[in-house]
Structure 1
Amino acid sequence: MPNKPWLQHYPAEVPPTIDYPNQNLAQFLVDSAARYPNQVALEFMGKKVTYRSLLDSANRFANALLRLGVRKGDRVAVMLPNVPQTVIAYYGTLLMGGIVVMTNPLYMPRELEHQLSDSGARIIVTLDQLLERVKKTTDKVPLDHILVTSIQDYLPFPKNILYGLKQRKDGKAVTVQYGGGVLSFTEFLKQSPATPVDVKVDANEDLALVQYTGGTTGLAKGVMLTHANLVANTIQNRMWFYKAETGKETMLAALPFFHVFGLTVVLNQSVYLAGKMILLPRFEIKQVLQMINKKKPTTFSGAPTMYVAVINHPDIDKVDLSSINVCISGAAPLPHHVQERFEELSGGKLIEGYGLTEASPVTHANNIWEKRKSGSIGIPFPDTEARIVQPGTLEDMNPGEIGELAVRGPQVMKGYWNRPEETAKVLKDGWLLTGDLGKMDEDGFFYIMDRQKDMIIAGGYNIYPREVEEVLFEHPDVEEAAVAGIMDAYRGETVKAYIVLKKGASPDPDALKSFCKERLAAYKVPKVYEFRETLPKTLAGKVLRRKLIEEDMDKLTDQKSG
């Protein structure tokens, strides 16, 4: 790659190459606790945890694991929402050289079973509310221990008492039977010393995380991310956000930590910056707006659907968004009008970035304060190379031509856990073939057209759902839109639009069709429109196109059998 046209657009403050420390990822916490011991690291429903206290708990957790016989390289699953216990278990495992397996709390036994058996996890940390689901799984995949905690364990007084009373009143209270491998998280910590734990790791070789990805096309694969991968990506993100002030940032943590975007851009980044994280166990728009009003976060990274929810909330005029300086949007394409409206409301910057689990995850982002381009994922991060290649080969395409995006850099994974053949398919000479179709312009800005598997081929034409969605988002009545290809006897596939309307708007497929016809070639215009209350999403806010297509297939099967 002799030519890197994007470097001319780097801000003066961002170096094209960085010297990354060879260290345990948890060293970020050790350093911040040494420099800012009394700074609040986590705030959860009014409970404040300082850096000193967080490191103390992480060391206790690490010592407790060692006492249980867990050793360097053993896998520890963490199945929790964004609560203090997640952060403690994560850093505690890293400190003693263990490998964290972040697990989605929404997983059903079948999904969990695959993840636990595939990773060979020995221990899982979970909520009392999820214990039954975990136990169903462990009948088939035995674990050494299940560590159980409750939301109320880290609530301040009197909220902890009131929470318990409300759970009982709502019939949601869970009585946990301890023993037989089921241990109490709080007791587990209490019975261990806070002596510093420093198990030596080889950052380039030793894994910090096995992060599961995919699952939409068969079983999810475990992505092996080393300490070096995650350290590099955290520092790359921090360099990009060069105006960030150490010890002074407040991050709204609405992105789940079990998703690698939330893990790197919010959790690792905040701890590296000795920032404060406002933890939200789930994205609930009313609570998010209250927190912004009350806690004045300076950064709020999320998925486009989160910003859509903010700008369309009926009470948005009563919310003060002015504390927000920077938002990084990822996990899905960011519609231009959403970006404009959010920036208008907050006065801050909302930029689109790009990444994938296999790259820890961020590889590209638009400049925050300098030149950016609408519809673009921006330019490659420091030390990150990117090319557009002929799918299936590593032959370079010319600027403006569509091909597969390939990336190379210190954040690119070691490979897939126990899947050498799958690894060989996507890693070629250090280049990661992303499976995403894109193009690069003459300036070195990159654009993602779509996932290869999401591309619609109708009557021989290639149609990129993102392009059609962008147009639908421009319609004043549309709050959310997703586009997918459905079976068509004549064209092979045809374009279908799934629409969530703004409050008070009426479904009018003809008007939407006319709107699209003025802005798109005829073959790209959706032929079918379905109006819905909601779109299925991951907890990270990504719309599940596959789920929409599966629902349609199921309806078709029912009609045929009926």
Structure 2
Amino acid sequence: MSSNENYARRILEALASVPDRIALWREDEKITAGQLSRAVLTAADVLRRHFTQHHRSPGTADKNPVVAVLTVTNSPATIILRYAANLAGATMVHLHSTNAVDPTDQLAAAARQEILSRTGATFLAVDKENADTARELCSRLPEPPRLAALDALGPDVLDLSAGNPDAFVLDETEADPDQPAVVLCTSGTGGSPKAVAMPYRVRSLHLQVNLGLQSPEPLVYLSTLPVSNSSGSVVDVTLASGGTVILHDGFEAGEVLRAVDRHRVSTLALTPPQLYMLIDHPDTATTDRSSIRTLTYVGSPAAPARLAEAVEVFGPVLLQLYGTTEASPISILTPQDHFDPELRRTVGRPATEVRIRDLDDGRDLPPGEIGEVCVRSPSTMLGYWGEPELTAETVRDGWVHTGDLGSLDEKGFLRLHGRTGEVMKTNGIKVHPTDVENALLTHPEIAQAAVYCVVDDDRVEHIHAAVVTRPGGTADADALIGHVAAELSPKHVPAVVTFHDALPLTGTGKPDKRALAARRSGAA
């Protein structure tokens, strides 16, 4: 692909090459490649004609059009609207959620209003399920975007199904590589979402690289993660490879296993807690898993002990991707790496430039020493839309400061040790929560673990652990404390161990340690 070739054009060309194949499958709804292609081109034709008119209006000549999208997250409409907006040369803004794990978790109205105002959306594209919500949002804005939909939803909504797909010429779909293609919303530290702007060149790069890694056989991708987040790039690769995307409204282990068997799923993308649920599900042993070629897990490091179990269950198909929305991917642990017990303690070899920098003076640290993971990548975001100060704080001299603590070993593999704000100073040493979590997860009765800090009234830091036991587990707090002491040292043992049916999760699928600490505040 040339630097200014629109990534969506390549996907549409692939759809047109085999129009009768099933491209999207959601519940009982099947959409062929030809139907998907015509829906995209029809909407793109309408949008481009209106963008041309808008561009001629006074004061808009230098502004790129922006299409915000508010639809059922894992639906064909979300995918169609992104491709249509990008083919027409617009920036597409997801108003769905900051949650990268659960498609049903939605942004609050105030956050959506803020993003619409910040991005200056030209259109707000909706479906019938969200039309009234969109009208309410627009009523609160002094300069509201125009509503649009892939159907006739009323006189106030532009009908994107009224275009002419034959009038849209794919050869005319070049894009400025540094124009924002997609804006993804991620959770912010202060509660306000961060709008990560990704340029067309990154979308094109991801598609080109991943297509080069695929086998000739088309993919069958089961999408349980939100397609409005980073996992949407897997949808791109699947459709461009001639494959099929199975859309689920979230993750449920039993439903995933049934879909794998029914659709002969070849590709899955999960979080580590979801991987653990698959390992532990009673139907896993009796499900035909032979179609799975790649099971990618993302979002947080996985416990080495649980990965050993995953290798036994699934074989040489596990792929760990460590990255951030701002600069993904950072490192990769390959399927063969998973058979090495020592490498299972890492997140793989860097896929781009990585430095470990001292938190105090910014110097590069040698192998084995722990500092902040900093990344320089061709996949780096343009920035946080409308937040230049936050962008400058995160990206310095071309290096993305991830906020993750890590170290490089002598072989060049990257190990993670938690977040910069999570390190505890207790018992006279620095304790990294990830080390204690991994120790807990080597206990045969522990399925999940989260370790966090609780500060008492005297400002003394204490190690707390929250665990989920396997069915029938009888281990108590004393047994787990003794286990950690034997695995690490007596100075690493939790002061408190609590037992839970399930751990609260953040929007990225990681244990919500802030919520756990808030519950235990004052109980150190």
Q: 2:42 aligns with which of 44, 54, 60?
A: 60
- State the alpha-carbon separation in 1 of the partners of residues 422 and 149 from structure 2: 39
- State the alpha-carbon separation in 2 of the partners of residues 255 and 487 from structure 1: 35
Q: 1:249 aligns with which of 204, 219, 243?
A: 219
Q: Name 1:144's counterpart in structure 2.
A: 145
Task: Please give the per-residue CA displacement for 1:128-147, whole angstroms capped at 9, x wherever unaligned.
Answer: 44455545544433632445
Q: Name 1:192's counterpart in structure 2.
A: 163
Q: Verify: 1:482 aligned to 2:482, yes or no.
A: no
Q: Name 1:364's counterpart in structure 2.
A: 331
Q: Which aligned pairs between 1:21-40 and structure 2 lie closer than 5 A?
A: 21-40=3-22
Q: 1:347 aligns with which of 315, 322, 326?
A: 315
- State the alpha-carbon separation in 2 of the partners of residues 85 and 229 from structure 1: 23
Are 2:66 and 2:92, in contact at CA under 8 Å, matched by a contact in 1?
yes
TM-score, normalised to structure 1, is 0.81
Q: Name 1:297's counterpart in structure 2.
A: 265
Q: Which aligned pairs between 1:461-540 and structure 2 lie closer than 5 A?
A: 461-490=429-458, 492-506=460-474, 508-538=476-506
Q: Verify: 1:258 aligned to 2:258, yes or no.
A: no
- State the alpha-carbon separation in 2 of the partners of residues 491 and 318 from structure 1: 52
Q: Verify: 1:48 aligned to 2:30, yes or no.
A: yes
Q: Name 2:101's counterpart in structure 1.
A: none
- CA offset at residue 463 of structure 1? 2.1
Q: Which aligned pairs between 1:434-445 and structure 2 lie closer than 5 A?
A: 434-445=402-413
What one-letter code is carried by the residue in structure 2 that aligns with 1:450?
G
Q: Verify: 1:123 aligned to 2:115, yes or no.
A: no
What one-letter code is carried by the residue in structure 2 that aligns with 1:496?
H
- State the alpha-carbon separation in 1 of the partners of residues 129 and 173 from structure 2: 36
Are 2:337 and 2:344, in contact at CA under 8 Å, matched by a contact in 1?
no
Q: Verify: 1:74 aligned to 2:46, yes or no.
A: no
Task: Please give the per-residue CA displacement for 1:74-110, whole angstroms capped at 9, x wherever unaligned.
Answer: 2222233211111101111111111112221522223
- State the alpha-carbon separation in 2 of the partners of residues 139 and 189 from structure 1: 22
- CA offset at residue 115 of structure 1? 2.5
Task: Please give the per-residue CA displacement for 1:474-512, whole angstroms capped at 9, x wherever unaligned.
Answer: 222222221211122456321211222222334622222
Gaps of 5+ in 2: 56-62, 98-104
- State the alpha-carbon separation in 1 of the partners of residues 485 and 184 from structure 2: 42
Task: Please give the per-residue CA displacement for 1:140-184, whole angstroms capped at 9, x wherever unaligned.
Answer: 3363244568xxx9xxxxxxxxxxxxxxxxxxxxxxx9546356x
- Provide closer, same or farther for how the CA distance between residues 144 and 68 of structure 1 changes in structure 2, counting only shifts above 3 A: farther
- State the alpha-carbon separation in 2 of the partners of residues 59 and 525 from structure 1: 60
Are 1:482 and 1:499, in contact at CA under 8 Å, matched by a contact in 2?
yes
- State the alpha-carbon separation in 2 of the partners of residues 133 and 40 from structure 1: 32
What secondary structure sits across from 2:344 in the alignment? coil
- CA offset at residue 397 of structure 1? 0.8
Are 1:113 and 1:137, in contact at CA under 8 Å, matched by a contact in 2?
yes
What one-letter code is carried by the residue in structure 1 that aligns with 2:197?
M
What secondary structure sits across from 1:454 in the alignment? coil
What secondary structure sits across from 1:301 in the alignment? strand
Q: Which aligned pairs between 1:390-401 and structure 2 lie closer than 5 A?
A: 390-391=358-359, 394-401=362-369
- Provide closer, same or farther for how the CA distance between residues 121 and 479 of structure 1 changes in structure 2, counting only shifts above 3 A: farther
Task: Please give the per-residue CA displacement for 1:524-559, whole angstroms capped at 9, x wherever unaligned.
Answer: 222122222222224653333233334445xx5xx9
Q: Name 1:6's counterpart in structure 2.
A: none
Are 1:322 and 1:348, in contact at CA under 8 Å, matched by a contact in 2?
no
What secondary structure sits across from 1:412 in the alignment? coil
- State the alpha-carbon separation in 2 of the partners of residues 131 and 471 from structure 1: 49
- Provide closer, same or farther for how the CA distance between residues 116 and 468 of structure 1 changes in structure 2, counting only shifts above 3 A: farther
What one-letter code is carried by the residue in structure 1 that aligns with 2:344?
S
Task: Please give the per-residue CA displacement for 1:193-248, whole angstroms capped at 9, x wherever unaligned.
Answer: 11325565544311101112232344222112101122223333444xx3x32452
Q: 1:236 aligns with which of 180, 185, 209?
A: 209
Q: Which aligned pairs between 1:89-128 and structure 2 lie closer than 5 A?
A: 89-102=81-94, 103-104=96-97, 105-128=105-128
Are 1:222 and 1:417, in contact at CA under 8 Å, matched by a contact in 2?
yes
Task: Please give the per-residue CA displacement for 1:14-59, whole angstroms capped at 9, x wherever unaligned.
Answer: xxxxx86432221231231243333322122233223222221111
What one-letter code is carried by the residue in structure 2 that aligns with 1:367?
T
What one-letter code is carried by the residue in structure 1 that aligns with 2:334?
N
Are 1:207 and 1:226, in contact at CA under 8 Å, matched by a contact in 2?
yes
Tell me whether 216-225 or 445-454 shows the greater mean CA deviation.
216-225
Are 2:89 and 2:175, in contact at CA under 8 Å, matched by a contact in 1?
no
- State the alpha-carbon separation in 2 of the partners of residues 543 and 470 from structure 1: 14
Tell me whether 409-418 or 450-459 shows the greater mean CA deviation.
450-459
- Provide closer, same or farther for how the CA distance between residues 203 and 521 of structure 1 changes in structure 2, counting only shifts above 3 A: farther
What secondary structure sits across from 1:81 in the alignment? coil
- State the alpha-carbon separation in 1 of the partners of residues 497 and 211 from structure 2: 42
Task: Please give the per-residue CA displacement for 1:343-364, whole angstroms capped at 9, x wherever unaligned.
Answer: 32233421222110101x2121
Q: Name 1:335's counterpart in structure 2.
A: 303
Q: Name 2:196's counterpart in structure 1.
A: 223
- Provide closer, same or farther for how the CA distance between residues 327 and 539 of structure 1 changes in structure 2, counting only shifts above 3 A: same
What one-letter code is carried by the residue in structure 1 that aligns with 2:400?
L
- CA offset at residue 330 of structure 1? 1.0
- CA offset at residue 369 of structure 1? 3.9
Q: Verify: 1:374 aligned to 2:344, yes or no.
A: yes
Q: Name 1:8's counterpart in structure 2.
A: none
- Provide closer, same or farther for how the CA distance between residues 510 and 403 of structure 1 changes in structure 2, counting only shifts above 3 A: same
- State the alpha-carbon separation in 1 of the partners of residues 246 and 285 from structure 2: 22
- State the alpha-carbon separation in 2 of the partners of residues 418 and 280 from structure 1: 33
TM-score, normalised to structure 2, is 0.87
Q: Verify: 1:181 aligned to 2:148, yes or no.
A: no
- Provide closer, same or farther for how the CA distance between residues 545 and 120 of structure 1 changes in structure 2, counting only shifts above 3 A: farther
Tell me whether 443-452 or 112-121 shows the greater mean CA deviation.
112-121
- CA offset at residue 64 of structure 1? 2.7
What one-letter code is carried by the residue in structure 2 that aligns with 1:207?
P
